[in-house]
Amino acid sequence: MLAAPVVMLDFETTGLSPDMGDRITEVAALRIADGRIVERYVSLVNCHVRIPPFITSLTGITQAMVDGAPPATEVVPRLLEFIGGDTLAAHNASFDEKFLRAEGGRLGLAPGHGGTVCSLKLSRRVFPQLGSYKLGVLSGRLGIPFRGTAHRAEADAEVAAELLLHIGRHLASSYGIARVDTPLLLSVNKLAAAKVHAFLQKHAAAA
């Protein structure tokens, strides 16, 4: 399952929009291969910006922590090199991908990942009966242990990675799909929820 590498990404940021000047404060990138986490890149990031008090209250990341962290000019190139051409994944992927592109763009660098899987969208399509798809709620409902502190990049990325693997195992057992790979997840991501069940049945029959 998921033999080809997938990199689960999570950013902590100063706000919601890089277009409004918000920046990253912490990153975690976890490489998943052969059904497990095999490698990780984790760092606080100094973007030389003020950390709003509400962000410190939410994440525990303080001004002093980022002031003493490696600069974005060091972290972002290393992050892009770590991701390489692997498939990218994130929970609410549009958020993390737009920050990845914005931070890379500031340095004249473009991400080279091969497609993006959103574990939030996948969860909505594969588990349509759940009322909330927030990472903390999902992990509790699905029996995925939440190690570490919520709203810190590594802890969130680790739970999201385990969620992605859980989804893969669920598809394999529920539909008899022998090989759950990234092209399948990318296809499910793009479907309307009402079409997912029939698509997976057809995929299993054709395999």
Where do we find the tokens 């998943």? 32
What is the DSSP code string of 161-206?
HHHHHHHHHHHHHHH--S---HHHHHHHHHS-HHHHHHHHHHHHHH
- Rounded to whole angstroms, the Cα distance separating 27 from 7 reads 12
Sheet-wide strand order for 87-90: 36-44, 24-33, 6-13, 87-90, 116-118
Angle at alpha carbon of residue 4, lines to 187 and 172, rounded to 5°:
60
Residue of 48, 91, 151, 203 marked active site: 151
Active site annotation includes 151: yes
- Residues marked active site are found at 151
